[in-house]
Amino acid sequence: MSSDQKFFYSGKEGEITERAAAVIIAEAWQAVADHGMFSLVLAGGNSPRLLHKKLAQGVSSEIFEHYGLAVPCNNSEEKHALHVLPPNTRLFQGDERCVSPNHPDSNYRMIRESLLQHSGIADDHLFRMAAEEGDVDRSARSYEAAIRTFFSTEGSLVPQGYPIFDLILLGLGDDGHTASLFTDNREALQEQKRWVVAVNAPHGKPPGMRLTLTLPVINHARNVLFFITGREKCELAEKIFLERERGVPASLVKPVNGRLFWFTIKP
């Protein structure tokens, strides 16, 4: 992808979290103006908690102006007015561990606790990956069917047959995995037809079966945003951005017609 479509930001926790949230919220309200709703795929793990909380809390008008972003026209135009995600946001999961929705390792539980319960977005606007069922392949097909139904109704499928999410939020593992796409699962990395697949992650934290979106789905999004914490991960992120590291799954994230953002928090 061209250099004018990818961006790298690094800084302290508060600054980077606020700037990433502002980019997402600005994109959300622009999507609503363009086509009536905002489709957001959320990352799992612990890193997104900070960003989720900021999205729920809101970002002030002056922050949007500071970073040259369009100020959402959803409420008061006062500089200190807080802007949040629009009510007609639809939330999706990028991946999920095969555990119950109340399990401490459940990404769904993390999303509910850190974002959904404090955002004003209706519970039924979150499309949950039901990964706890015994037949993981059936669970993957079921989630793909839910996405397919949603986007077919919205009329937002590209000619190649992939959905176009407005924004996909991703994390980065120490080993370079993203979503639940791991280096040792070549079949999942090479998948071109399925939108959601079940994978075995023996080296994951925790190890076990997972569901994940596939690379073609990620790469057809309008925006992809990595949000990364931790020294080693931030160093790896910079190498991937500069194309000095091309052998890990995250290096395969290259939006076809979208923008790619990297936000890294310096320790």
One DSSP character per residue, 60-90 reads: EHHHHHHTTPPPP-SS--STT-EE---TTEE
**153 is in which domain, residue-wise?**
3-69+86-265
User: CB of 64 within 8 A of CB of 22?
Assistant: yes
The verdict on residue 25 lying in a domain is: yes
The verdict on residue 78 lying in a domain is: no
In this structure, what CATH number is given to the domain that contains residue 53? 3.40.50.1360
The verdict on residue 80 lying in a domain is: no
Show Cβ contacts of residue 138 under 8 Å, excluding neighbours closer than 6 positions: none
What's the total number of domains in the chain?
A: 1
Global pTM value: 0.95
**Which residues, in sequence order, are bridge partners of residue 263?**
9, 227
Give the angle subtended at the CA of 232 by the CAs of 169 and 200, to the nearest 5°.
Answer: 60
The verdict on residue 228 lying in a domain is: yes
Both tokens assigned to 154 = 């919205």
pLDDT in tens, the chain (267 residues): 666 799 999 999 999 999 999 999 999 999 999 999 999 999 998 889 999 999 999 999 999 999 999 998 765 555 567 899 999 999 999 999 999 999 999 999 999 999 998 888 999 999 999 988 789 999 999 999 999 999 887 655 555 689 999 999 999 999 999 999 999 999 999 999 999 999 999 888 888 999 999 999 999 999 999 999 999 999 999 999 999 999 999 999 999 999 999 999 987
